[in-house]
Chain A
Amino acid sequence: MHELSISNAIAKLVLEHADGREVASVQVRVGALRQIVPDSLAFCWTMVRRQPLLEHSQLEIEQVPGVLDCGDCGARSTLTEFILRCPACGNGLVAVISGDEFLVTSIELLSAKEESRGPLPPS
């Protein structure tokens, strides 16, 4: 529901790391246990990137599945739906191994000599 403001936060974070250089792409990792809608985030990025250094940037979203370790039977399971219960034995005492991630993992910057080029040709 707040993907637009999240996009703004991503833009701010990216510009801090871009050090004044043109950004080609931004890699974001989103865990399945987050309520982030990739489609919505990608759409919001097309609005937020309308500013210097981000105009041509692509937002690439890597989705990470939810993985649980059961505190009872010890099984490690990958979730297909958001129910925090061990799929193997049904126990609710589980530890989240992955799925909570929400971070910018990397950015791609254009080389300095490429910065003055014109806009990208249409895809």
Chain B
Amino acid sequence: MGRFHRHEDGTEHEHDDHHQPQSRREDVGDHSGYQTGTERIEVLEAIFGENDRLAAANRADFDAAGVRVVNLMSSPGAGKTQLLRHTLAQLKGLLRVGVVEGDIETSLDADRLEGFGAAIALVNTGNGFGGECHLDAPMVRSALPRLPLADLDLVVIENVGNLVCPAEFAVGEHARAMVYAVTEGEEKPLKYPVMFRSVDLVVINKIDLLPYLDFDLDLFLRNLRTVNPGVATVLTSARSGVGVQQWVDWLTAQVTAAAR
């Protein structure tokens, strides 16, 4: 494939390599024939390397504290926070749970989770590796001092509502889950495959709305399995509480699997 680049005047194009490797005098980027001496240095470094190093550090801290961590992702409004309210209520007295709550500006979601006996650390996503559209490893790291990790069994990281960016950033989690609302249609796994491919479980939420929608569950599942053949699924309504127990069982299994 050719090399895509943009010029000073805003034009851009792709063509086969005109930048010869290794130290030599050559045309750099522009086509004016302006000659400069350049030296090419091999780098071969992952652009998310810094994030991945901090994710590994987070993971080491989680393992040292004996806590299992689930990264929970979805579109905005799919029902993550409502599902977590049910989850915290059901796990109260059974598992010691912490929540890292990612939000762009407000504490509205964190406020909704108060009163269930869980430790909650809010992260506003202004200053991280990647800006505002997701949680990344440095942001999660900044929240860890506010959680009593050694006294917890499970931490759920409620990521920023977004089907694109959170999938790219490991934060040190042991497992990934996403909440998908049936109102989002059947085709999203094909349109956002990086996210759907990266998760271990999809919670298919808002099933109480199915009688009012044209949502084809079988088609959605076929699309999902096309990008992620081995993924687990549960059907829930975080509004009525139907199916939430299966999700809670999955979370509990994450903790007990680690304890074995």
User: A10, A12, A34, A35 — which one has the most chain B CB atoms within 10 A of its CB?
Assistant: A35
From residue 1 to 51 of chain B, which have CB atoms closer than 8 A to chain A?
1, 3-9, 11-12, 19, 21, 28-32, 34, 36-51
Shortest Cβ distance from B18 into A: residue: A60
Instruction: Give the distance to chain B from A85, nearest Cβ to Cβ, in Å.
Output: 6
Decide if A59 touches B5 in the complex (CB within 8 Å): yes
Is A75 on the interface with B (CB-CB < 8 A)?
no
Decide if B32 touches A114 in the complex (CB within 8 Å): no
**Of the candidates A83, A106, A122, which one forms a contact with B41 in the assembled complex, judged by CB atoms under 8 Å apart?**
A106
Please report the C-alpha to C-alpha distance between residue A122 and residue B238 in the assembled complex, in whole angstroms.
59
Decide if B47 touches A24 in the complex (CB within 8 Å): no
Shortest Cβ distance from B37 into A: residue: A111
Decide if B3 touches A2 in the complex (CB within 8 Å): no
Instruction: Give the distance to chain B from A45, nearest Cβ to Cβ, in Å.
Output: 7
Decide if B34 touches A120 in the complex (CB within 8 Å): yes
From residue 10 to 47 of chain A, which have CB atoms closer than 8 A to chain B?
10, 12-14, 17, 24-25, 27-28, 33-35, 38-39, 42-43, 45-46
In the bound complex, residues from chain B placing their C-beta under 8 Å from that of A14 are 43
**Of the candidates A1, A58, A93, A105, which one forms a contact with B164 in the assembled complex, judged by CB atoms under 8 Å apart?**
A1
A25 in contact with B29 given A1-B165, A2-B134, A13-B47 (CB within 8 Å): yes
From residue 55 to 71 of chain A, which have CB atoms closer than 8 A to chain B?
56-65
A62 in contact with B3 given A123-B8, A123-B9, A123-B30 (CB within 8 Å): yes
Is A110 on the interface with B (CB-CB < 8 A)?
yes
In the bound complex, residues from chain B placing their C-beta under 8 Å from that of A48 are none
**Of the candidates A24, A33, A62, which one forms a contact with B1 in the assembled complex, judged by CB atoms under 8 Å apart?**
A62
Please report the C-alpha to C-alpha distance between residue A46 and residue B19 in the assembled complex, in whole angstroms.
19
Is A73 on the interface with B (CB-CB < 8 A)?
no
What sequence of 0s and 1s flags, for each residue 168-181 of chain B, a beta carbon within 8 Å of any chain A beta carbon?
10000000000000
Shortest Cβ distance from A26 into B: residue: B43
Contact count A vs B, C-beta below 8 Å: 167
Decide if A25 touches B19 in the complex (CB within 8 Å): yes
Please report the C-alpha to C-alpha distance between residue A39 and residue B168 in the assembled complex, in whole angstroms.
19
**What total of chain A residues lie within 8 Å of the partner, measured CB to CB?**
57
Decide if A35 touches B44 in the complex (CB within 8 Å): no
Please report the C-alpha to C-alpha distance between residue A110 and residue B228 in the assembled complex, in whole angstroms.
46
Decide if A45 touches B47 in the complex (CB within 8 Å): no
Please report the C-alpha to C-alpha distance between residue A1 and residue B166 in the assembled complex, in whole angstroms.
10
Decide if B229 touches A111 in the complex (CB within 8 Å): no
In the bound complex, residues from chain A placing their C-beta under 8 Å from that of B133 are 1-2
Is B227 on the interface with A (CB-CB < 8 A)?
yes
Apart from A57-B29, A110-B37, list 11 A-B contacts with CB within 8 A: A2-B165, A10-B47, A24-B38, A35-B168, A35-B194, A39-B4, A42-B12, A56-B28, A61-B4, A62-B1, A106-B21
Q: Give 30 pairs: A residue, B residue, CB < 8 Å, sorted on A.
A: A2-B131, A5-B130, A9-B47, A12-B50, A13-B43, A24-B28, A24-B38, A25-B19, A33-B194, A38-B4, A39-B4, A46-B6, A58-B28, A61-B3, A61-B4, A61-B5, A63-B1, A65-B1, A82-B190, A82-B227, A102-B47, A106-B21, A106-B40, A107-B41, A110-B36, A120-B32, A122-B8, A123-B7, A123-B8, A123-B31
Q: Which residues of B contact A (CB under 8 A)?
A: 1, 3-9, 11-12, 19, 21, 28-32, 34, 36-51, 129-131, 133-134, 162, 164-165, 167-168, 190, 193-194, 197, 225-229
